[in-house]
């Protein structure tokens, strides 16, 4: 590992914290007794998110069914309002984003709409490093068309087991491909794809392309509309801090407005026609058309508060701090953990790195257990990855410094050896 010139003292980390213009937002969150490095799996609860959830509960209590159209946040229009509030996170127009469904439901909806195999264009491109739910959903959609998922789903292979080369994706974009669906950031390695490049390449071949933004939205700026991305979908419980099981979001480029979604329900209707109760759908001419049924108000409510922070802090500022935190973390790892069997699996370049550091070690399961016992909350991903995600809103440089010092002590004292080499049910 290369040697770094950065000071290795706690005092240096504290100096960085003192100069951090986002430091005040740490007070907005309910911090745990442990140092939380798992915001890329589940973000912490903010006081604003708690308040907005309680506000919606109160509106139910005080207004009953009238809460759909009255009160501070009328429920009937809330998904659209939150879509507008989310648009800046992905570089979209307000009408192009809707808060609805979940990652998997939204993928099914979008694949059902945009995967229309015809003639020799029958294949879908994904990768072998995708999150499993995406693969399951795509296999399901292919089977619904009466086709063989093994034949029609192209999974781009990784050359090293960590990363996917964009050249390999582009090379697979043949005249047999109908659809490309890729993650913006790979969940294991933290590799960030060049979304603009891949979108341009797909469109040059006449292929529709969409992205899974679960590991980037709220941490990395995007320009979906400018780049011409056809569609995208993401969860809101990671970097957006909407809470466990929070309702997800999707983006549809306005060039597709007016198209009837592959899956429809009564919330696909124009708002002013929905309660006409006609059996002919008057489809909404925005991303709102991709809704299905009644929104889950108590699962969407925390987003009201959480998204106000993203309106105050440009996503570019959050990305700037995130890159500094992860760079500092990698620099410390290279020096403090040298010779201890660790490898950094994520790309080193800022433009290719997402919001977390992917640390490989043969004893990753047991090390993660030792970290939790020692007051650090990491994230394990099979077979050998420790994911560490310092989040710009609530993590500090001192958190990063202390995390590495604890890791060093665990390895030096072999604390991990007392734990069973077996992951938990939820890793």
The CA R_g of the chain, rounded to the nearest whole Å, is 22
DSSP string computed for 353-422:
B-SSEEEE-TTHHHHHHHHHHTTEE-EEETTTEEEEB--TTT--HHHHHHHHHHHHHHHHHTGGGGS-S-
Taking the C-alpha atoms of residue 357 and residue 210, their distance in angstroms, rounded to an integer, is 25
* Cβ neighbours around 59 below 10 Å, total: 21
> Would you list which residues are annotated within the binding site for pyridoxal 5'-phosphate?
103-104, 131-134, 212, 215, 237, 266, 294
Q: How many CB atoms lie within 10 A of CB 258?
A: 11
> In this structure, are strands 357-360 and 385-388 parallel, antiparallel, or unpaired?
antiparallel
Which residue, 138, 306, 130, is CA-closest to 215?
130
Neighbours of 255 (CB within 10 A): 11
Residues in the annotated binding site: 103-104, 131-134, 212, 215, 237, 266, 294
Instruction: Tell me which residue has tokens 């992951």.
Output: 423
CA-nearest of 169, 224, 176, 223 to 191 is 169
In angstroms, the CA 390 to CA 117 distance is 42
Structural tokens at position 147: 């086709």
For residue 378, give the nearest of 10, 39, 26, 13 by alpha carbon. Answer: 39
């Amino acid at each position: 590992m290369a040697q770094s010139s950065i000071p290795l003292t706690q005092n240096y980390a504290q100096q960085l914290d003192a100069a951090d213009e986002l430091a005040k937002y740490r007070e907005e969150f309910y911090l745990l007794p442990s140092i939380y490095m798992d915001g890329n799996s589940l973000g912490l609860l903010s006081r604003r998110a708690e308040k907005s959830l309680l506000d919606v509960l109160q509106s139910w209590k005080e207004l009953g069914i009238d809460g759909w159209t009255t009160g501070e946040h009328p429920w009937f229009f809330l998904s659209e309002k939150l879509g507008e509030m989310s648009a800046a996170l992905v570089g979209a127009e307000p009408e192009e984003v809707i808060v609805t469904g979940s990652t998997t439901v939204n993928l099914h909806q979008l694949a059902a709409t945009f995967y229309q195999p015809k003639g020799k264009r029958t294949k879908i491109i994904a990768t072998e490093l995708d999150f499993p739910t995406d693969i399951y959903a795509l296999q399901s959609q292919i089977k619904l068309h009466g086709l063989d998922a093994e034949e029609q789903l192209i999974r781009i292979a990784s050359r090293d087991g960590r990363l996917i080369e964009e050249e390999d994706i582009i090379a697979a974009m043949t005249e047999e491909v109908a659809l490309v669906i890729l993650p913006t950031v790979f969940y294991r390695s933290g590799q960030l794809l060049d979304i603009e490049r891949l979108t341009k390449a797909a469109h040059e071949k006449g292929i529709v392309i969409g992205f899974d933004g679960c590991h980037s939205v709220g941490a990395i700026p995007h320009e979906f509309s400018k780049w011409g991305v056809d569609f995208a979908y993401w969860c809101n419980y990671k970097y957006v801090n909407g809470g466990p099981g929070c309702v997800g979001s999707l983006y549809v480029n306005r060039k597709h407005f007016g198209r009837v979604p592959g899956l429809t329900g009564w919330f696909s209707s124009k708002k002013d026609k929905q309660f006409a109760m006609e059996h002919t759908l008057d489809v909404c001419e925005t991303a709102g058309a991709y809704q299905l049924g009644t929104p889950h108000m108590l699962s969407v409510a925390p987003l009201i508060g959480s998204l106000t922070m993203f309106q105050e802090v440009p996503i570019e500022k959050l990305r700037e701090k995130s890159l500094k935190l992860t760079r500092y973390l990698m620099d410390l790892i290279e020096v403090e953990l040298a010779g201890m069997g660790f490898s950094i699996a994520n790309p080193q370049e800022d433009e290719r790195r997402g919001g977390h550091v992917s640390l490989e070690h043969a004893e990753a399961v047991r090390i993660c257990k030792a970290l939790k016992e020692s007051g650090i909350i990491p994230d394990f991903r099979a077979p050998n990855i420790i994911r560490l995600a310092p989040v710009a809103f609530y993590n500090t440089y001192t958190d990063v410094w202390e995390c590495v010092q604890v890791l060093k002590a665990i390895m030096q004292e072999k604390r991990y050896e007392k734990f069973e080499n077996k992951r938990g049910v939820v890793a």
